[in-house]
Amino acid sequence: MIDELYGAVTLIPRLQHHGVWYNNVELEWVYCDRAQPIAPYASLIADYGQLEQAERRYAEQYMDDLFTKTEYHTLRTFLKDHHGLDANMSVVPIPMEVQPKTVGFIATPAHRVLEADVSGKFGWYRPDSVLGGLPFTVAAWYVVGSSTLDNTQP
């Protein structure tokens, strides 16, 4: 029985977004194209059977974005060894309550967040692939709204 899954977050010093450089951009890593769920969704998501179909699909995709502990450590080692980056762990208790009464639905997967972005401040970050690197595909999403605009030349 899985009792927690993990997110991975990296702070990078500089990132170019739509031709503009930003400082201190937070990347939130996601597992891409997971072929099989980590565990049955009903065991990962609280009140799974009570969710509407669209909410259930989003919650499933959200769970697929997360990492097991082994996957997190593999990603962290890869980022450090091949890109000089660190990744901090966030813990998602399982089963995850995706509809807390105080905030509403909170399990929107990363690709849906970016599809809904009208501000133009969100983006995808994909690390350069390294032969023999990761046994799975990752990407990170970011928002430059909380980052500092960099007025220096690259």
In whole angstroms, how far apart are CA 85 and each of 8, 20, 39, 144? 12, 21, 29, 19
The yes-or-no verdict on residue 141 having pLDDT over 80 is yes
H helix intervals, 12-68 = 41-44, 53-65
pLDDT value at residue 39: 96
The yes-or-no verdict on residue 154 having pLDDT over 60 is no
**pLDDT tens by residue, 80-131:** 998 899 999 999 999 998 877 677 777 878 888 888 888 888 999 988 766 6
The pTM of this model reads 0.87
**pLDDT tens by residue, 60-78:** 999 999 999 999 999 999 9
